[in-house]
């Protein structure tokens, strides 16, 4: 009877299968990381809104990255934290699919916004005299809007392909959220089409953008080496190295998770790699950009000084 079902009303998220004491420790640790993620990205968003000196294309794209990181973490982490301290780790299947959809949409958006940011740095360093003409506010809005729309449309394709499948069990997902590869294991039909589309999307949204980023930065590096001023070269290196750190963390973990050969413990490996997506990357991004960016630190000082004067 169970094999004839086409829908699962509820599923159990197994999460991190460790003893109770360690679960409470992980709850405290991950809660702290999540708070830092919201605070760090929220501070960057606030500074960009409040400081007119940061009203430039570069910081407009950075604000989009901060918004994506906050949304990304908030989609996956709260349910994970609740499950760490709860005996009932149940989630209804419809919210589970919605979590999968949003996870994919925000992941796609992060890939695209990182490419847009590398293009912005390429134009700023390699074509500085034409920067405001090429990267106009109209172009910024168009690039960002296109990235958001495309990200959600591609995630919708994955969702439609999921909805065509009959789901008859098992009623357990060995993950801390409804990650797409784990959800596919609940299907009682052939999922090869889904897996082919996932791999093709990875090539398109991971390998393609990563190649564009590497091409941009190879040209940026050549341009930096031609800069005569030591101060100008240092500033260019500082800005670009921050972006490359973010790119390396995000694309590296994504490619290993979705395109590398599976290990002997793929499910446990997926959980650890997913933590980079859901928690560590969103938390580290504002630290990387703020600690290595003099303009962001200057904006924070100006805002704090203004508050003291008031």
DSSP codes, 204-264: IIIIHHHHHHHHHHHHHHHHHHT---HHHHHHHHHHHHHHHHHHHHHHHHHHHHHTSPP-S
Residues of the chain with pLDDT under 70: 1-7, 169, 227-233, 235-236, 238-239, 261-266, 291-293, 303-304, 306-310
Predicted local confidence at residue 169, as pLDDT: 67
Query: Is the pTM for the entire model greater than 0.75?
Result: yes
- Spatial contact of 163 and 194, defined as CB atoms under 8 Å apart: no
- pLDDT tens column, 261-283: 665 456 777 788 788 778 888 88
Superfamily of domain covering 2-309: Rhodopsin 7-helix transmembrane proteins (1.20.1070.10)
Q: What's the half-sphere exposure (Cβ side, CA atoms, 13 Å) at 111?
A: 27
- Spatial contact of 147 and 109, defined as CB atoms under 8 Å apart: yes
Beta-carbon contacts of residue 197 (< 8 Å; ≥ 6 apart): 157, 158, 161
d(CA 114, CA 64): 10
Predicted local confidence at residue 262, as pLDDT: 64
Predicted local confidence at residue 17, as pLDDT: 77
Which among 189, 187, 115 is positioned nearest to 151, based on CA atoms?
Answer: 115
d(CA 103, CA 187): 19
Predicted local confidence at residue 232, as pLDDT: 62
- Spatial contact of 11 and 96, defined as CB atoms under 8 Å apart: yes
What value, to the nearest 5°, has the Cα angle with vertex 200 and ends 207 and 285? 40
Query: What separation in angstroms does the CA of 66 have from each of 29, 75, 272?
Result: 21, 14, 22
Predicted local confidence at residue 213, as pLDDT: 87
């Amino acid at each position: 009877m169970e094999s004839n079902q086409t829908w699962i009303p509820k599923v159990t998220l197994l999460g991190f299968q460790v003893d109770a004491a360690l679960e409470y420790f992980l709850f405290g640790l991950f809660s702290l990381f999540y708070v830092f993620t919201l605070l760090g990205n929220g501070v960057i968003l606030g500074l960009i809104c409040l400081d007119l000196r940061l009203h430039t294309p570069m910081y407009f794209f950075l604000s989009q990255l901060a918004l994506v990181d906050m949304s990304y973490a908030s989609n996956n982490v709260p349910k994970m934290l609740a499950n760490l301290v709860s005996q009932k780790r149940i989630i209804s299947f419809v919210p589970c699919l919605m979590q999968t959809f949003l996870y994919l949409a925000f992941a796609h958006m992060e890939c695209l916004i990182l490419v847009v940011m590398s293009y912005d740095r390429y134009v700023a360093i390699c074509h500085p005299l034409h920067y405001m003409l090429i990267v106009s506010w109209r172009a910024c809005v168009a690039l960002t809007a296109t990235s958001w729309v495309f990200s959600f449309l591609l995630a919708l394709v994955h969702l439609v392909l999921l909805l065509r499948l009959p789901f008859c069990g098992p009623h357990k997902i060995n993950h801390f959220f409804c990650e797409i590869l784990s959800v596919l294991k609940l299907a009682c039909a052939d999922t090869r089409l889904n897996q082919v589309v996932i791999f093709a999307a990875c090539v398109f949204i991971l390998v393609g953008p990563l190649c564009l980023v590497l091409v941009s930065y190879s040209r940026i590096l050549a341009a930096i080496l031609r800069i005569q001023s030591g101060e100008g070269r240092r500033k260019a290196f500082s800005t670009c190295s921050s972006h490359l750190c973010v790119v390396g963390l995000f694309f590296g973990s994504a490619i290993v998770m979705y395109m590398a050969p599976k290990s002997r413990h793929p499910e446990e490996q997926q959980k650890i790699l997913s933590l980079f997506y859901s928690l560590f990357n969103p938390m580290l991004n504002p630290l990387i950009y703020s600690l290595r960016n003099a303009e962001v630190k200057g904006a924070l000082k100006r805002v704090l000084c203004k508050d003291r004067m008031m």
